[in-house]
Amino acid sequence: MKQGLSLRVSQHLALTPQLQQSIRLLQLSTLELSQEIEQMLDDNPFLEKDLEDASPREDFGLAQENQLASASDHEWDAESWEGPFERVSESRVDTPSEAPDSPVDAAGVAESWDGDGSVDFSPDDSEWGGDAPARQSSQEDDDKAQATELARNQESLTAFLHRQALALRLDDTDRAALRFLIESLNDDGYLEDSLEALAESLAGDDLEQLEELVHRFQMALGLLQSLEPTGVGARDLGECLRLQLQAMAVNTPEQTAVRDCALAICQQPLELLAKRDVKRLVMAVGASDAEVKLGMALIARLEPKPGRRFVDVERHVIVPDVLVLPQGADRQGLPQFRAVLNPEVMPRLRVNDIYANALKGGKGDSHAGLQQRLQEARWMIKNIQQRFDTILRVSNAITQRQRSFFIHGELAMKPMVLREIADELGLHESTISRVTTAKYMHTPYGTYELKYFFGSGLGTDSGNHASSTAVRALIKQLIASENPKKPLSDNQLSDMLKEQGIDCARRTVAKYREALRIAPTNLRKTL
């Protein structure tokens, strides 16, 4: 075996700390960005919130909400988002043809996070401080949408049950057992663990104490199931339904017969009820066909999750990042729209002038750490501004391409992919993906994630393509208008779409129907 020596020339490209931070901020959601800003405010003394209204020292805030950053505001342009720079480093052969395509020059690579204090660091702090005049927003007050009102606080299920338990005359042991069961309920109001398992967690290997605890828990369970909401404390769905049926008031023999039939149905495997297998239920219950149908209708009106209404709804509230507002009409009289940033999510940040001016002109190793923190504060402000500028650019491009959606709704949605917006704005496809993830837009038809406006297309008879979103909306519309006694099958829906010129297979219809959380034909049929 001969040993040889080979020489390989390669070039390593690394993201600067500023660019790394900018990419990371871009992919954060509004909540994550808020947490990141709060962390930076705690760690960096040079960065502070601008709480003054129309402050003359404001550099980034509501006054900048719909103004794109100029080329001089940041040292890197749209090409710095290109795919090769998504990784920290990449090895390639250094060829003359590749050199001009690199968006990172020697100066950019040489830029370091750690300053050594050897450079005369005396930037113009006026852009961050009191010399910068306040710029008025071009938006009218009536154009700014109000923030989404948070849902009012609701009493939790456990607190509601504990308050009811206070009215019961119990000794300390029984009260403690009832409290323990209440705390063991899940969010739906079910007792997932068995009484024996709960007793073992407390008694351990003591058999005598175990039997005593099981007896106490059985008594406490009866008390728990007598509280409101009806059905709370059930071990399974069948027991929950039976508790609600038993608590139901009946006034006539007919109502009693229907309730008894419903109780008998709940004793059977619930798969028969879910499949609406009337024939097998008639044989198992021993009732007539009409009585079984009435019993099933009665069960359908019950609440399968007693704790549903106690769930805190505030966590489901979404504050949009972008608002779509009308902006006149075109020559054909069709309305036009524009995207603006939501002022409620815009941060108001600035560099502390006192600290920045005190550090101005400082040299030497003693000031290197402070200069680094000042530079981090400036990078943070510029990167946040760049983040919102990119979101606004992408949102405006989406608004222009999907204008028919804002006029007619989701039935008029056009097929669109990330590459189209990337080519239009001169950005990388990965940048568009980061922008459209966990960012929301408020439209006349509701609040949607930016990814909602992107979708594949289905072929039509005219040679064009129909958006998958529009096809799903059409399927939803067809099912909503169907005869409940004769619901449309997936094959029928596919044929109806083909009649309208949309080539959609049965399996595709089934996939879209499941994505819309619409039950199949046998479950949608009304008895």
Instruction: Note the pLDDT of residue 132.
Output: 36
Q: Is residue 52 part of a domain?
A: yes
Residue type, 451: K
- Whether 455 is in a domain gets the answer no
Beta bridge partners of residue 324, listed in sequence order? 339
Beta strands in 170-241 (DSSP E): none
- Provide the pLDDT for residue 189: 92
> Does 54 map to a domain?
yes
* Residue 265: per-residue pLDDT: 92
* CA-atom Rg of the chain in angstroms: 32
Residue 256 lies in a domain: no
pLDDT of 13: 63
CB atoms within 10 A of CB 16: 20
pLDDT of residue 56: 43
Count CA atoms within 13 Å of residue 374 on its CB side: 24
- Gap between the Cα atoms of 111 and 281, Å rounded: 76
| Domain contains 33 | yes
Instruction: Answer yes or no: are the C-beta atoms of 221 and 191 closer than 8 Å.
Output: yes
Q: Domain for residue 369, yes or no? A: yes
What pLDDT is stored for residue 149 in this prediction? 40
Q: Count of H helices and E strands in the chain?
A: 21, 10
**Tokens representing residue 41 in the block:** 């405010």
pLDDT for res 420: 93
In a domain, 374, yes or no: yes
Query: In this structure, what token pair is assigned to residue 34?
Result: 């808020």
Residue pair 118/372 in contact (Cβ under 8 Å)? The answer is no
pLDDT at 323: 95
Q: Is the peptide bond before 444 cis (omega within 30 degrees of 0)?
A: no
Query: How many whole angstroms from its chain centre is CA 391?
Result: 17
Cβ pair 66, 138 in contact under 8 A: yes
Q: So what's the pLDDT on residue 429?
A: 93
Angle between helix axes 207-225 and 195-203 (nearest 10 degrees) is 130
pLDDT of residue 330: 82
Cα-flanking dihedrals φ and ψ of residue 417, to 5°? -120, 165
Say if residues 327 and 336 touch (Cβ distance below 8 Å): yes
Rounded to whole angstroms, the Cα distance separating 380 from 383 reads 5
Q: Give the residues of the chain that fall short of pLDDT 50.
A: 54-66, 69-152, 314
Q: How many domains does the chain have?
A: 1
Question: Quick one: pLDDT at residue 342?
Answer: 93
Q: How many CB atoms lie within 10 A of CB 508?
A: 18
Measure the CA–CA gap between 429 and 422, rounded to whole angstroms: 5
The answer to whether residue 452 sits within a structural domain is no
Task: Name residue, tokens 């219950």.
Answer: 285
Tokens, residue 124: 């113009």
Q: Which residue, 244, 275, 281, 280, is CA-closest to 261?
A: 281
pLDDT score for 355:
82
Burial of 245 (0-12, 13-18, 19+ CB in 10 A): buried
Range of the domain at 378: 10-134+355-382
pLDDT at 366: 65
Contact indicator for 361, 71 with CB cutoff of 8 Å: no
CB 188 within 8 A of CB 306: yes
* Cβ atoms 285, 264 nearer than 8 A: yes
